[in-house]
Amino acid sequence: MVYDRRPDDMERITTPELANAFIDEQVQAVKEQVGDKKVLLALSGGVDSSVVAALLIKAIGDQLTCVHVNHGLLRKGEPEQVIEVFQNQMNANLVYVDATDRFLDKLAGVDDPETKRMIIGNEFIEVFAEEARKLEGVEFLAQGTIWPDILESEDGIKAHHNAGGLPEDLNFELVEPVKILFKDEVRMVGDALGLPENMVYRQPFPGPGLGVRCPGAITRDRLEAVRESDAILREEFEKAGLAGKVWQYFTVVPDFRSTGVKDGKRAFEWMCIIRAVNTKDAMTAEIEHVPFDLMQKLVDRITHEVPGINRVLYDMTPKPTGTIEYE
Ligand code: XMP
């Protein structure tokens, strides 16, 4: 039985068997909905869009075109992983757009957080729409809408971020195969579809990406310092067995320099702030008790390996009063 809405008595998907049954059901439903027509999907590499991509590849193969827009604000290795998993391993039709320059040029000199978010959101739609117009005969748009998105938009908490946004000439019918699932169920389905663990169980990552972790006007060198320090943090948390245990962890590099000394010379450089928090629903958050040895290792690696950083700080502030992100 394929549901249009999540029924109150629907069994939660908690086992690989239930995940496989859901996949079979949705593969059939997508085939019936789409027939021999073409489908387009914006594939960010996040859990929801990746699971939808894998499900649709299984259902309709090369009738699906995935567009991966690299806005230049992704974490280290993310665009490469999308290409490796979907193009090389799953044989998907993948259009990879490196729009880094477009985004960073538009963001140059912009320091207001909400304006930065708006520029990133609008430019994303613009780039995706341009790619959509280049393709012929596409009638469907697939989206990684999940059940909490629908609940929140019904409650008026936030606009349903997936639906809409595209210009009117792109009038697609929606394909939303995971819309009756909760996040943990989407992960179960992703596992059953054979997606890599670090894709299925990755920590939440905001749409504006590293852009909100480079407070103030984004510059390429400071953005690179955020990306490199974030990669070191992820690597060391993984080695220490903390990946998957700590809810969200990342680095922030504010536009502020302090005096330091490197190789016997004055080094007037940025500081890198580490944030590591645990939460259930992101409304409140507690600080992770990071072991002191690991902290020392992080300080050592980040100050020696990341150009432009001479200090590392740990943000001990819970939410409230601090939000999880810095802008
Ligand atoms: P805050 O900073 O409000 O973050 O405590 C709560 C959670 O939401 C994520 N977040 C965002 N996600 N677009 C997103 O898709 C955004 O603009 C955005 N801002 C914050 C944040 O990473 C955390 O998990």
Could you give the CA distance from residue 214 to residue 212 in angstroms, rounded to a whole number?
5
Q: Whose CA is nearest to atom 4 of ligand 1?
A: 324
Alpha carbon 66 to its chain centroid, in Å, reads 16
Provide the pairing of β-strand 257-262 with 138-142.
unpaired
| Cα–Cα distances in angstroms (integers) from residue 307 to residues 72, 139, 232, 259, in the given order | 19, 47, 13, 15
> Separation of 138 CA from ligand 1 center, angstroms?
32
Consecutive sets of 10 residues in the chain, 327 residues long: mean pLDDT of each? 74 95 97 98 97 98 98 98 98 98 98 97 96 96 93 72 74 95 96 96 95 98 98 98 96 98 97 98 96 98 98 98 97
Instruction: Give the model's pLDDT for residue 159.
Output: 60
> Separation of 86 CA from ligand 1 center, angstroms?
26
Using a 6 Å cutoff on CB, does residue 118 contact ligand 1?
A: no
Could you give the CA distance from residue 22 to residue 32 in angstroms, rounded to a whole number?
15
Using a 6 Å cutoff on CB, does residue 278 contact ligand 1?
A: no
- 209, 74 Cβ separation under 8 angstroms: yes
Instruction: For residue 204, give the ligand 1 atom closest to its CA.
Output: 24
SS3 content of the chain, % helix, strand, coil (to 5): 45, 20, 40
Instruction: Give the model's pLDDT for residue 1.
Output: 55
Q: Whose CA is nearest to atom 3 of ligand 1?
A: 323
> Separation of 171 CA from ligand 1 center, angstroms?
29
- 186, 49 Cβ separation under 8 angstroms: no
Using a 6 Å cutoff on CB, does residue 46 contact ligand 1?
A: no
Residue 130's contacts (CB-CB under 8 Å, 6 or more residues apart) are none
Instruction: For residue 285, give the ligand 1 atom closest to its CA.
Output: 5
26: left (phi over 0), alpha (psi -120 to 50) or beta: alpha
Q: Whose CA is nearest to atom 12 of ligand 1?
A: 206
Please state, as a whole number, how many other Cβ atoms lie within 10 Å of the Cβ of residue 155: 8
Kindly provide the residue ranges of all beta strands, DSSP E only, lying in 135-262, ordered along the sequence: 138-142, 173-175, 248-252, 257-262
260: left (phi over 0), alpha (psi -120 to 50) or beta: beta
> Separation of 70 CA from ligand 1 center, angstroms?
19
> Separation of 282 CA from ligand 1 center, angstroms?
8
Using a 6 Å cutoff on CB, does residue 324 contact ligand 1?
A: yes
Residue 93's contacts (CB-CB under 8 Å, 6 or more residues apart) are 62, 64, 65, 66
Using a 6 Å cutoff on CB, does residue 235 contact ligand 1?
A: no
Using a 6 Å cutoff on CB, does residue 208 contact ligand 1?
A: yes
pTM: 0.94
Closest to 169 measured CA to CA, from 134, 140, 141, 133? 133
Please state, as a whole number, how many other Cβ atoms lie within 10 Å of the Cβ of residue 83: 17
Q: Whose CA is nearest to atom 24 of ligand 1?
A: 204
Computed from CA positions of residues 224, 226, 227, 231, in that sequence, does the dihedral angle turn out positive or negative? Answer: positive
Instruction: Give the model's pLDDT for residue 60.
Output: 98
> Separation of 174 CA from ligand 1 center, angstroms?
25
| Cα–Cα distances in angstroms (integers) from residue 89 to residues 44, 66, 85, 92, 94, in the given order | 17, 14, 5, 8, 12
Quickly tell me which residue has 């953005």 as its tokens: 223
Using a 6 Å cutoff on CB, does residue 319 contact ligand 1?
A: yes
Instruction: For residue 279, give the ligand 1 atom closest to its CA.
Output: 24
